[in-house]
């Protein structure tokens, strides 16, 4: 692999806390603690920068034109081209994780206030609110807008039916903390990444665990505290990629 762009976010040394690339692969957004930047991937151009206090999470829309930004008491849905907030989705505490559906019809926010909330992006209205025992660690939406995944720290992973707001499946052990999750484009499979450097592959229809992997470690003999940061299926859903906090990027055969 070769380096395409190297982006410096600001003159400050706060460090990048979140990055997201649009599924169209045309745009990217990066966040430091108090600012976000919007980039065009083709030529690396910085399109805009905004100052926002105490950013907690960041998600870009499929077309790369909108961003869902998690803040201490809400998430804002920002039209990047105009620098305008279209909606503010209220929570009682910090929004730690979020997702935007492939259709751009829904936004899903997970908060430190123990709730995950599904929002209608055509109206800004709350569609469902799901209570959990702990702060939310990971949320994700299936590509067909049928299911929402939620996981709170050391809690059960649940799939919810968006049409009814009811639980569809409960996955895996009851005490687990997920760090990331990704549905396949054909909506048949679900990948989940753990804070304990493990990747699980699930059958969405049955809720059964199909396979699991443990990515490469710095040293085979030494325990690792690496976390799975991101998972992405290939276009044909036959392979997937993982990035871990120890710096390893790996490609896997499903």
pLDDT digits (tens, 9 = 90+) for 239-251: 999 988 887 888 8
What single DSSP character describes residue 145? S
Q: Would you say residue 202 has pLDDT above 60? A: yes
Q: β-pairing, 106-111 with 115-120?
A: antiparallel
Q: Would you say residue 209 has pLDDT above 90? A: yes
198-211: average pLDDT: 96
Q: Would you say residue 222 has pLDDT above 60? A: no
Q: Would you say residue 70 has pLDDT above 90? A: yes
Instruction: Give the residue with greater pLDDT, 196 vs 103.
Output: 103
Q: Tell me the torsion sign for CA atoms 64, 65, 70, 72.
A: positive
Q: Would you say residue 91 has pLDDT above 70? A: yes
Structure tokens at 163: 């049409």
How far from chain centre, in Å, is Cα 207?
Answer: 20
Task: Give pLDDT, residue 2.
Answer: 80
Give buried/exposed letters for 99-132 (b at 16+ CB in 10 A, else e). Answer: bbbbeeebbbbbbbbbbbbbbebeeeeebbebeb
Q: Would you say residue 226 has pLDDT above 90? A: no
- The answer to whether the CB of 136 falls within 8 A of the CB of 118 is no
- The answer to whether the CB of 20 falls within 8 A of the CB of 65 is no
7-20: average pLDDT: 76
Task: Give pLDDT, residue 10.
Answer: 62
Q: For the chain, give the mean pLDDT.
A: 92
Sort 47 into a burial class: Cβ within 10 Å, 0-12 / 13-18 / 19+.
Answer: middle
Task: Give pLDDT, residue 244.
Answer: 86
Spatial separation of the C-alpha atoms in residues 57 and 179, rounded to whole Å: 13
Task: Give pLDDT, residue 40.
Answer: 95
- The answer to whether the CB of 17 falls within 8 A of the CB of 32 is yes
Q: Would you say residue 53 has pLDDT above 80? A: yes
Per-residue pLDDT band at 217 (split at 50, 70, 90)? low
Q: Tell me the torsion sign for CA atoms 107, 208, 230, 22.
A: negative
Task: Give pLDDT, residue 11.
Answer: 61
Task: Give pLDDT, residue 82.
Answer: 94
Q: What is the pLDDT of residues 97-143, one digit of tens each?
A: 999 999 999 999 999 999 999 999 999 999 999 999 999 999 999 99
Q: Please choose, from the candidates 204, 201, 205, the residue with its C-alpha nearest in 3D space to the C-alpha of residue 240.
A: 201
Task: Give pLDDT, residue 233.
Answer: 93
Task: Give pLDDT, residue 155.
Answer: 95
Task: Give pLDDT, residue 235.
Answer: 85
Spatial separation of the C-alpha atoms in residues 32 and 25, rounded to whole Å: 21
CB proximity list for 217: less than 8 A, separation 6 or greater: 197, 224, 226, 246
> Among 9-13, 15-19, 184-188, where is mean pLDDT lowest?
9-13
Tokens 């790996």 — which residue?
Answer: 250
- How far is CA 195 from each of CA 175, 226, 254, rounded to the nearest angstrom? 12, 7, 21
CA angle 113, 144, 242 (to 5 degrees): 70
- What percent of the chain has a predicted confidence (pLDDT) above 70? 94
Task: Give pLDDT, residue 249.
Answer: 82
């Amino acid at each position: 692999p070769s380096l395409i762009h190297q982006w410096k976010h600001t003159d400050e040394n706060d460090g990048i806390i979140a990055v997201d690339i649009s599924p169209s692969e045309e745009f990217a957004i990066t966040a430091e603690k108090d600012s976000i930047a919007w980039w065009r991937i083709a030529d690396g151009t910085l399109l805009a920068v905004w100052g926002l206090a105490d950013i907690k999470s960041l998600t870009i829309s499929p077309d790369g034109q909108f961003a869902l930004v998690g803040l201490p008491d809400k998430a804002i849905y920002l039209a990047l081209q105009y620098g305008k907030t279209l909606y503010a989705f209220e929570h009682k505490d910090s929004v730690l994780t979020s997702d935007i559906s492939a259709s751009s019809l829904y936004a899903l926010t997970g908060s430190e206030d123990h709730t995950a909330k599904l929002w209608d992006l055509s109206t800004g209205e709350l569609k469902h609110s799901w209570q959990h025992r702990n702060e939310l660690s990971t949320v994700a939406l299936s590509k067909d807008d049928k299911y929402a995944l939620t996981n709170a720290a050391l809690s059960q992973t649940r799939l919810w039916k968006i049409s009814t707001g009811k639980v569809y499946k409960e996955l895996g052990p009851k005490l687990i903390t997920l760090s990331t999750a990704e549905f396949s484009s054909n909506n048949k499979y679900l990948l989940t990444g753990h804070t304990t450097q493990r990747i699980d592959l699930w059958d969405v229809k049955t809720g059964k665990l199909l396979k699991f992997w443990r990515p490469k470690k710095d040293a085979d003999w030494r325990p690792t505290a690496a976390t799975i940061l991101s998972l992405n299926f290939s276009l044909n859903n036959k392979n997937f990629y993982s990035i871990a906090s120890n710096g390893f990027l790996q490609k896997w055969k499903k």
